[in-house]
Amino acid sequence: MTSTLPQTPLAKRIQSFYDESSGLWEQVWGEHMHHGYYGTEGRDRPQSPQQAQRILIEQLLSWSGVQSPGNVLDVGCGIGGSTLYLSAKYGASATGITLSPVQAKRAEARAEVNGFGEKVTFQVADALAMPFADESFDFVWSLESGEHMPDKAKFLQECCRVLKPGGTLLVATWCHRDLAEKGPLSARERKHLEDLYRLYHLPHVISLAEYGAIAQTLPLQKMQTADWSKAVAPFWDDVVRSALNPKVLWGIATAGWQTFEGALAIPLMQEGYRTGLIRYGLLAGTKA
């Protein structure tokens, strides 16, 4: 495991949050640290939340149109759930990056015990200054990490820089509503987002339309966006149900203050999806 950890206050807070909370998340939920998929209208009920998470990965891959990549980069890899999934599915070499040394170490251990050998590697690295040469990967995958990026344009630029010509970029990220819908964010909406930013260590989120505008400045072809908010919103109801387990409640209470604060954000996410303030945005394209 190599490390090029940025030293900004935000990066340190994100690192500390995931260093502290990832172990509990894995105990409760398993290897995937992202939303699940509950059908286009959010009415399907998979056998388990974990199955919903795996379905989301497959739905994203199908939607993006990616074709058998040989070299994958997972930007914001967590404990390696998606990284290992993609490597196994495509027989691909894969690299995962995260700000959390604890996550990277756990991802390496999971790769070793599952027999991935040198096919999969993990690094502690800054997604805004990735330690990779231009045109290194033919599939760049970012599942729910864009919300942590303080510079969304630089984030997409870096993803595009390390992507080979003809390669696919896929980003799924938390957004706020399109400002063209009802005008500027209200004071109440801004307060709602500011509370989420504080509890989840987010610099800010932007609308899917803004992501699309940034992508238009990049050498991407066949660029597409989609809003999957309805499909993923039931995830937070499952999170609430899991948290009502006394063992989980005790785990939250004893894991540390940042983990406790993260739990306080769960009802804010539920309300955000219910009111339409929080959106789940997708962006994909092929590098020219």
Q: Say if CB 211 and CB 281 are below 8 A apart.
A: yes
pLDDT by residue for the chain (288 residues), tens only, comes to 555 666 789 999 999 888 888 888 888 888 999 999 999 999 999 999 999 999 999 999 999 999 999 999 999 999 999 999 999 999 999 999 999 999 999 999 999 999 999 999 999 999 999 999 999 999 999 999 999 999 999 999 999 999 999 999 999 999 999 999 999 999 999 999 999 999 999 999 999 999 999 999 999 999 999 999 999 999 999 988 877 776 766 666 666 667 767 677 899 999 999 999 999 999 999 999
- The H or E element that residue 152 is part of is helix 152-161
Residue 164 burial by Cβ neighbours in a 10 Å radius (0-12, 13-18, 19+): middle
Q: Say if CB 161 and CB 134 are below 8 A apart.
A: yes
Give CA 167 to chain center in angstroms: 20
Specify the pTM.
Answer: 0.94
- What distance in Å separates the CA atoms of residue 253 and residue 249, rounded to the nearest whole number? 6
The full set of domains in the chain, from first to last, is 2-287 (3.40.50.150)
Residue with tokens 């070299």: 71
Residue 78, φ and ψ in degrees, nearest 5: 60, -135
Give CA 110 to chain center in angstroms: 19
- What distance in Å separates the CA atoms of residue 156 and residue 16, rounded to the nearest whole number? 24
Q: What is the DSSP letter of 207?
A: B
* Other Cβ atoms closer than 10 A to 214: 16
